[in-house]
Structure 1
Amino acid sequence: MSAPEVQYDVADLGLAGHGHSRIEWADRSMPVLRAIRDRFAAQRPFDGVRIAACLNITAETANLVRTLQAGGAEIRLCASNPLSTQDDTAAALVVEYGVSVFARHRSDSVTYRQHLDSVLARAPELVLDDACDLATALHTDYQDLLPGLRGGCEETTSGVVRLRAMASADALRYPVVAVTDTPTKNLVDNRIGTAQSSIDALLRSTNMLLAGANVVVAGFGYVGQGLAARLTGLGARVIVTEIDPGRALDATLSGYAVMTMAEAAPLGDVFLTVTGNRDVIRAEHFALMKDGAVLANAGHFDLEIDVAWLGANAVERRMEVRPHVDEYVQADGRRLLLVAEGRVANLAGAEGHPAAVMDIAFGIQALSAEWLLRNEPGALPAAVLEVPPGIDREIARLKLAALDVTLDTLTETQLAYLTSWSS
């Protein structure tokens, strides 16, 4: 295939100037990706490789795209979440960087599907996914493209859950690297980044005082742990709900109240869901909540809070009572406040992770994509694969170097002690 002309469906190309400034600003806080970009530009590991990407269209994502493009890739990009799309960033990618982009803020479901189709139109060799939408489309409507795929990367826990279910059912047809599952990314992206950006979205949307508030955190994985710690630092009284005994014990021994959602529902002033599952907060919980309870979801899909039930059963829905806040009036007069339509709040109600956080996540993504191509076609199994440990260590090393942090090294005596059973 010859290189195509740039194609696009974006809101307004006139926004490109502002988008370019936003991308450059983010790049200042992304030294890991810059170092990888410089190497890719010299070595061209993606020369002529067609990449389809379904990611959040943000300035940070734009710098990942620039990095892969510097390595020779031909990229087509669509949005994994319409509410997270920055229209100026999308325009800048088209105008300033010559990337084919299909993304509009608040696009409807029909347009969203058309954008997925446009991204897959060039028969990709690699796919970069954020919640498995490209993988799902490939395995349902584009099965003819599967033989030409070298592999893919998945950015989110929700997407990895889907992919592992596909693999368990023997339905997955190409190797996918679970980019979200590395020690460095779990620390920086999930525990630190999502916690900060979710609280940022909550404060932007409600301007409420968290000190003294009862905040219910549903799920005590990496994200829940980070949220609970930072909410406590702001003076909130944190309640945790969990289904896993080990995580519930961890939360209890960390000093948080642990109970069921039914027990927490009448107590909570704010509810934050971070489980990756569906119907975590549902009808029986809504019935117990206070007037003015705030509901927000930091998981990828808008299923953790039963938004459909709220829409069907509220006697009145008041849109945008504040930016990104809808009010659902119950039959008894209580008002439940939903942030960002129940979608991923930190992206829909704020700007997502700080660039310094995405520097780590996208660095791992870029090196994982390069690793997939280093393997001969067919050499890797059609399965969900872990990020090679060397990649995680390299990203941590690059980040520490950028922060001017130095480490101790083992002496020969110490190394001998650690590697000999008779020492």
Structure 2
Amino acid sequence: MSDIADESLAYEGVKRIEWADRAMPVLRQIRERFAVERPLAGMRVAACMHVTTETAGLIRTLQAGGASVALAASNPLSTQDDTAAALVREYGAEVFARAGTDREGYYRHIHQALETGPDLVLDDGCDLVNTLHTDRTDLIGTVRAGCEQTTTGVIRLHQMALEGALRFPMVAVNDTDTKHMFDNRYGTGQSTLDGIVRATNTLLAGKTVVIAGFGYCGRGLAERARGLGARVVVTEIDPVKALDAALQGFAVQPMARAAEHGDVFITATGNRDVVAAEHLAVMKDGAILANSGHFDVEIDVRALQDLAVEVHRVRPQADEYVLADGRRLVLLAEGRLVNLAAAEGHPAAVMDMSFADQALTCAWLATAHATLDAAVHQVPKEIDTEVARLKLASMTIEIDTLTAEQEEYLHSWRLGS
């Protein structure tokens, strides 16, 4: 039995889902293929993901492949109640998600999704898998394998595997080129700045934007902030990534120094306390704080609360913290994912590739799970290549192919220079 806010919102949800579907041609092609091949026939899937119109496209594709799907929200602030209603009423999925639910409701929904006894699990941040391995070990026996689609989640899975705690194979869908190169770089880059602008109506041109982390998400953020006229400062702990940022022309500084002159701060690291009390203590009046990492721990919100003498909601998804010395710091989306809480997340055209990776990986796992050990695995290269090929075709872009002679040359060691 689903748990959603208002089933009467289904009509509006269907309209939005159909609009997103127009920009997801790769997933549409896979859905049509799945409807014929039925690679997931009889399988139960439990997913903990953002309940958005794009995710609805993935759920419908899995259903076309023969799966029954139970969906819980991976972030209460990103849940679209009309999408949840449409998935339940019009598309026959089980959904456990309400916009703005509290922490207790969040985990209750994860438990409800798991109680369907899934064969496969899809996670966005590893909370569902973590719950299986801590509170619901009684259900692990039915799970054959799963997928994780975030950097943060993959980090947690690798640690579980390192400690020997992981009980079934998980595939790092996040690590495919068509996911992290495009979703993280182009999707996060655009949607995060979209969320910041919607929440604040600030002009980024001329501002100093400090970006914590120069992985694929950080790169996309830095590129797009510079394109909007901002002065970009990057903070990093990895010498190679810091060097990459510097050679691309970005200023690279420790957060302690950047904190003194930044106007907008964006975290995208997958770690906690990236913006800590000592940084908050030296920020200028009016500084804007936004998080684009998965969990709301990258900005130390508790430290910010301790420093504040007053807190005001100045705009939707924007809270102004007034400090004892009169400085005002503006926290967006309560420190949660700003692109999904204050905007609409990645454009559907980006999620088209990410969810195509998910769908094809699920179909592969339906049979391949028996050959995999309880570890973190990579998506087969041919799946990544197929998604890119379908995307190029949908864009009417053609590329070259190797001749027989070129193929022979690449696979021979006998031919010299």
TM-score normalized with structure 1 length:
0.97
State whether structure 2 residue 256 is matched by structure 1 residue 256.
no
1:324 aligned residue: 317
The equivalent position to 1:245 in structure 2, one of 227, 239, 246, is 239
Deviation at 1:313, TM superposition (A): 2.7
Shift of 1:175: 0.3
Q: Distance in 1 between matches of 2:263 and 2:105?
A: 36
Q: 2:412 aligns with which of 408, 413, 420?
A: 420
2:397 matched to which residue of 1? 405
1:313 aligned partner: 307
Deviation, 1:413, is 2.3
Unaligned runs of 5+ in 1: 1-6
Tell me which stretches of 4 or more aligned residues in structure 1 moved more than 4 Å.
none
Partner of 1:35: 29
RMSD: 0.9
> Structure 1 residue 353 and structure 2 residue 346: aligned?
yes
> Given the alignment of the two structures, is residue 380 of structure 1 paired with residue 372 of structure 2, yes or no?
yes
Say whether 1:74 aligns with 2:63: no
Q: Work out whether residues 292 and 337 of structure 2, in 8 Å CA contact, stay in contact via their aligned partners in 1.
A: yes
1:369 to 362, 375, 394: 362
1:171 is paired with a residue whose SS is: coil
- Which amino acid letter does the alignment assign opposite residue 413 of structure 1? E
| CA–CA distance in structure 1, aligned partners of residues 214 and 396 of structure 2 | 32
CA deviation digits over 1:84-103, x for unaligned, max 9? 00000000001111111110
After TM superposition, the structure 1 = structure 2 runs for residues 14-413 of structure 1, keeping only pairs within 5 Å, are 14-319=8-313, 321-375=314-368, 377=370, 379-413=371-405
SS in 1 for 2:175: coil
The one-letter amino acid of 1:180's match is N
Q: CA deviation at 1:416?
A: 2.2
- CA deviations over 1:214-272 (Å, ceiling 9, x no partner): 00000111111111111111100000000011111111111111110010011100000
Q: Deviations 1:158-179 (Å, cap 9, x if unpaired)?
A: 1111111100000000000001
Q: In structure 2, give the amino acid aligned to 1:371.
A: W
Matched AA of 1:370: A
Q: 8 Å contact 2:117–2:139 — kept in the other structure? A: yes
After superposition, give the CA deviation of every residue in 1:266-322 in whole Å (9 maximum; x if it has no partner). 110000000110000011000110000000000000000001111233100112x01
2: distance between equivalents of 1:122 and 1:182? Answer: 29
Question: 1:395, 1:385 → 2: CA distance?
Answer: 18
Matched AA of 2:356 = G
Percent sequence identity over aligned pairs: 62
Determine helix, strand or coil for the equivalent of 2:232: strand
1:187 Cα offset (Å): 1.6
- For 2:281, the aligned partner's letter is A
How much has 1:422 moved relative to structure 2?
2.6
- 1:376 Cα deviation (Å)? 5.3
- Specify the SS of the correspondent of 1:338: strand
Counterpart Cα distance in 1 of 2:285 and 2:184 = 31
TM-score by length of 2: 0.98
**What CA distance in whole angstroms lies between the structure 2 residues aligned with 1:57 and 1:44?**
24
Deviates more, 1:310-319 or 1:95-104: 310-319
Between the aligned partners of 1:419 and 1:54, the Cα distance in structure 2 is 43
Counterpart-to-counterpart distance in 1, 2:270 and 2:19: 31
| AA in 2 matched with 1:238 | V
Cα deviation code 1:62-85 (max 9, x no counterpart): 010000001110111110000000
Q: Aligned in 2, Cα 1:233/1:376: closer, same or farther, shift over 3 Å?
A: closer
Post-superposition offset of 1:349: 0.8
Task: Specify the SS of the correspondent of 1:101.
Answer: strand
Instruction: Give the letter for the 1:356 counterpart.
Output: A
Q: Matches of 2:404 and 2:158 in 1, distance apart?
A: 43
Contact 2:169 2:369 in 1 (8 A): no
CA distance in 2, matches of 1:331, 1:369: 53
For the Cα contact (< 8 Å) 2:267–2:274, is it kept in 1? yes
Distance 1:376 1:362 in 2: 19
**Counterpart residue type for residue 400 of structure 1:** L
Deviates more, 1:407-416 or 1:164-173: 407-416
1:93-145 deviation digits (Å, cap 9, x = unpaired):
01111111110000011111111111011111100000011111110111122
**How far apart are the structure 2 equivalents of 1:80 and 1:168?**
24
CA distance, structure 1, for counterparts of residue 4 and residue 402 of structure 2: 53
Q: State the number of aligned residues.
A: 415
Structure 1 CA distance, aligned partners of 2:396 and 2:329?
47
